[in-house]
Structure 1
């Protein structure tokens, strides 16, 4: 591990501070960058996400995707956590903390809106950035890609009914443009670009050329991650400074939900005997959120200045540092995990 990767948490913290400070001091610059969007998808952020995930996707050999079925336990666990647990656990946490424990410290007219935002955040599993988290845990890339693709397919039909059930609404206006464009930008286009680069490298220089390219592109992914942090926190610099208490209180149920669902997926994979290289990305996919869709849905349903929109933005703000902490836990607990897997020969297989 390079010095840069070893101190990634420090660079993340510095970029968060830089983003908040710059967003507060020069909000006009970030407003201009933030306005470069289509269907609520910010294009500069999309480009940075491409730079983050394309190197991970280059590693994937599509010829080996057929073997992903052997990880059916991990797929089952992730689907169970994403669709049967996560939205409902977040709704419960929202009602307990925002509707109960913290009610006295929050604007009374926004309580229901805050809870709605939390539900919207939890009802959409992460698509793009999970490739970064999976790579940091040395996760099985074919499992990660197939799981993300499966979640995208389910999201198209399940997002509206799940959110409608939990919000008690008869109909939910799903921002289909955002959903379709996000899948295209964050999954389809990067996969096509990455596989084109992979084939070219293998055709011109074989596996040695591929390895050299990946060694050079690896740091680029992390730099793009840090640049994304500066942008995301810069976009919300004014809100963070103006409403620190509200943001801190909204972060509590989100934090509990992330660690609960990540831990549940991780332990269930261990109990079922799944390999650690699958349990890591399974836990991360189970915990992270598709915040672009959540923010767009909140704005569409409740308005730009609503409590729901702010709640989804808080999810954006804590996504990276919290997921990095989950990565750290997964990596540090590998020995413990493999001691409990029923077939130890499978546990460390990548």
Structure 2
């Protein structure tokens, strides 16, 4: 990856743009395909195994099916095991980047998704609620991939991911209550049929983010202490990394098996979820790049700022939607549609980002680990 970034810097934006697809692993390059196949497999499974819903409900803990819960935890752990928790001081000293990231992630992003969800889905409360939850789940997963492909600042991305991870544990529940209950009431919007408890949301975040966050931190601390950082990042992480995708695909198969009837009977309603998502990713990325350029950040940190703000932690959004509303809910379905739209859109924005480098002053190439 470092050689690809160096080539992109020395060879010009055009060469970097042409190499984006080649620099993605096969799993990441075809992620929309794998998600589509998982959706199709789930629909077929739901049709061929009519007793599947009852079987999943028979093994529940706290109202959540154990197989689905395991899939959710499996897709969260590898992401959090990759975070470099010891690099917080490297970026927190850059107050411009830190302040811009916090504002974009925790003020602009949720507010924008709230507005788009109500504009595009005023008559579909379950999908609308699911999208708002997606907007609250700030990106801590594939942003590292998008950042590397766009030749962003790798250390800054790692630190912002760590900060977002920690902030979500304490803020997600309160923001969920604000955007799903308090703010609609203030604006006089109709929220009938949607009963949201901030404590339920906080509990789901504690389980599906807090547990893998603690496991990821301990894994890195123990792995680096006993075997060293080189072994941990070059040998261990490549082995556990694909588990996140396997957990995501497993969860999608089960969700679509449970939701097959709703999906096939209302395909246009499902398609409507894509429109606000598309608008959200493009607007958040564009605003973030302009803000980074406006406050004097170089290209690398502006790109990092943009991708950490535009991407969303769809794994957590799916987990919260399932935990609070159930696996067969429209909220969970909206969360699942999220990565199907996010992945190809952000890959496209990587190309756009590389093109925008010509509008920034030259700066040194990003360094490797």
Alignment TM-score, normalising by the size of structure 1: 0.75
249-258 or 202-211: which moved more? 249-258
Structure 2 CA distance for aligned equivalents of residues 48 and 286 of structure 1: 15
Distance in 1 of aligned mates of 2:95 and 2:315: 20
* 1:13 partnered with 2:36: yes
User: Retained in 1: the 8 A contact 2:130–2:334?
Assistant: no
Deviations 1:81-122 (A, max 9, x none): 4554445545554555445xxxxxxxxxxx3xx257515632
* Cα-to-partner distance string for 1:118-166 (whole Å, 9 max, x where unaligned): 15632564548x3332233246222112123224433333332333222
1:135 aligned to which of 135, 144, 150: 144
State the shift of 1:321 in Å: 0.9
| Mapped partners of 2:253, 2:183: distance in 1 | 36
Cα shift readout 1:33-77 (whole Å, capped 9, x = no counterpart): 366555565543342233333233223332222333145445444
**Displacement, 1:213?**
0.9
Aligned-pair distance for 1:169? 6.9
Contact 2:53 2:258 in 1 (8 A): yes
Under a length normalisation based on structure 2, what TM-score does the superposition of the two structures give?
Answer: 0.72
Equivalent residue number for residue 102 of structure 1: none
From 184, 195, 203, the counterpart of 1:181: 203
Inter-CA distance 81–149: structure 2 relative to 1 (3 Å threshold): same
Structure 2 unpaired stretches of 5+: 1-23, 149-153
The corresponding residue for 1:106 is: none
1:210-221 to 2 correspondence within 5 Å? 210=232, 211-221=234-244
| Conservation of the 8 A alpha-carbon contact between 1:133 and 1:323 | no
Change (3 A) 1:175 1:44: farther
Aligned 8 A contact 1:87 1:119 in 2: no
For residue 149 of structure 1, the aligned residue among 159, 166, 172 is 166
RMSD: 3.7
Instruction: Work out the number of aligned pairs and report it.
Output: 328
**Secondary structure, in 3 states, of the residue corresponding to 1:333?**
helix
In structure 2, what is the Cα distance between the partners aligned to 1:330 and 1:135?
14
Instruction: Determine the structure 2 residue equivalent to 1:159.
Output: 176
Q: 1:207 aligns with which of 205, 229, 244?
A: 229
Does the aligned pair in 2 maintain the 1:24–1:237 contact within 8 Å? Answer: yes
Q: Which runs of 5+ in 1 are unaligned?
A: 100-110
1:336 to 2:355 alignment = yes
Conserved in 2, the CA contact under 8 Å of 1:40 and 1:292? no
- Aligned equivalent of 2:21: none
Instruction: Check the 8 A contact 1:121/1:291 in 2, yes or no.
Output: no
Give CA-to-partner distance per residue, 1:166-202, whole Å, 9 cap, x none.
Answer: 2437999542443233222232211222222223322
1:348–1:123 CA distance, 2 compared to 1 (3 A)? farther
Aligned to 1:198: 220
Structure 2 CA distance, aligned partners of 1:239 and 1:331?
34
Q: Hey, what's the Cα distance between the residues in 1 that align with 2:100 and 2:87?
A: 22
Describe how 1:249-260 pairs up with structure 2 within 5 A.
249-260=272-283
Contact 2:140–2:313 at 8 Å: present in 1 too?
no
One of 247, 268, 271 as aligned partner of 2:270 = 247
Question: Which residue, out of 321, 338, 341, partners 2:340?
Answer: 321
Instruction: Give the alignment partner of residue 78 of structure 2, picking from 31, 36, 55.
Output: 55
For 1:223 and 1:158, locate their aligned partners in 2 and report how far apart those are by CA, in whole Å: 30
- 1:284 maps to 2:311: yes
Question: Distance between the aligned counterparts of 1:85 and 1:231, measured in 2?
Answer: 33
Whole-angstrom distance in 1 between the partners of 2:61 and 2:203: 8
Q: Output one character per residue of 1:245-298: Cα deviation in whole Å (capped at 9) or x when no partner.
A: 332234433443344334433443454423423432221149998344456666
2:3 aligned residue = none
The 3 A distance-change label for structure 1 pair 2 and 295 is: closer
